[in-house]
Amino acid sequence: MPQQRITIVLNSASGRHNSTDQETTYRRAFEHHGCDVRIVRISDYESVEDAARAALSKADHTLVVAGGDGTICAFASVMLEHDRPFGIIPSGTFNYFGRSLGLPEELEAAVELIVTGAAGPVEAATINGKMFLNNASIGAYAAILQTREGIYKRWGRSRIAAYWSVVKALATFRAPLHLDVTIDDVHRSFKTPLIFIINNAFQLEQMGLDGIDCIHSGKMVVLLAPDTNRWGLFKHAAALAVGLARKQTDYTMHCGKDVNIVMRRARRPVARDGELTRMAGPFELRRTSRPLQVIMAPERTEQVR
């Protein structure tokens, strides 16, 4: 059997794994399976996408990304463009994408699955042509991410720090969004602090939200928080966070394949899988024309996440 060649695109800043010997640990984990390993450090490039393109130079290598959901999303966008299958080592804070595919968060188990697994199709979506795997959002959640980065720099990355950033950001968030939203040719107007578009049934399940059947039917879930005072915003956000949100009370839900959003201010911060980008509207959300090819356990390759 020929030696398997692996290229790992590594984000050493993701999650809680910041030790200087992380690269050696990853290399040894694959070498234990007899693999030849090459490592591409994201920190050596301008962006995750640039590092992913550098990894593509080895046509005979199995490509692997190690990082959180934001890193995986950026890497996956390049893999989709070049129609290359890839493996994932989830090493972020929440790892919604990897967990939705049943990928292990423990390194040894993740490596074994990559070496022995098979590539299967996974649906992704875009907002104005930019990919997201789990969710995209405009409004209060984007403000939370802006706050979260400062908290991470001071206290490190953790789920507790992420939850604290919600409290801190919502304490100062004021301006609601005035939206004209068209979902599969049905037009509605909303005043809301938050619009949240989800493309991952597992995340809905984890948050205790409805809409899993919508994802399974090949569509996206659109959640809108009610326009309310600051205490109400805290209450609705907390209900979503702990999985006690009530439909029509803490959010309204819509389901659609094509979503178009128009608002008064053309440029807005947009959150995609936990990463923040400033984008110009109007905002068009679509499923990608073809699926990603992700290495996973053979028994899961036909399942909808």
**pTM value?**
0.84
Query: How does pLDDT run across 248-298, given as a tens digit for each residue?
Result: 456 789 999 999 999 987 788 898 998 888 999 999 999 999 999 999 987
Residues 219-234, mean pLDDT to the nearest whole number: 76
Range of the domain at 259: 130-287
Query: How does pLDDT run across 22-64, given as a tens digit for each residue?
Result: 899 999 999 999 999 999 999 999 999 999 999 999 889 999 9
pLDDT of residue 267: 86
305 in a domain, yes or no? no
Whether residues 34 and 146 fall in one domain: no
Residues 117 and 111: their CA atoms lie apart, in Å, by 10
Residues 250 and 80: their CA atoms lie apart, in Å, by 36
SS (H, E, C) 87-123: EEEECCCCCHHHHHCCCCCCHHHHHHHHHHCEEEEEC
How many structural domains compose the chain? 2
At a CB cut-off of 8 Å and minimum separation 6, what does 3 contact?
Answer: 34, 35, 36
Whether residues 166 and 281 fall in one domain: yes
Whether residues 268 and 149 fall in one domain: yes
Whether residues 115 and 141 fall in one domain: no
For residues 272, 16, 201, 299, the Cα torsion angle rounded to the nearest 10 degrees is 130
Query: How does pLDDT run across 138-149, given as a tens digit for each residue?
Result: 887 666 766 666
pLDDT of residue 43: 93
At a CB cut-off of 8 Å and minimum separation 6, what does 188 contact?
Answer: 180, 181, 182, 254
Whether residues 67 and 175 fall in one domain: no
Q: What is the CATH number of the domain that holds 135?
A: 2.60.200.40
Residues 90-100, mean pLDDT to the nearest whole number: 90
Q: Where are the beta strands (DSSP E) in 200-250?
A: 220-224
Give the model's confidence band at 151: pLDDT under 50 very low, under 70 low, under 90 confident, else very high: low
Backbone φ, ψ for residue 232 (5° rounding): -60, -40
Residues 103 and 96: their CA atoms lie apart, in Å, by 10
Parallel, antiparallel or unpaired: strands 125-127 and 86-90: unpaired
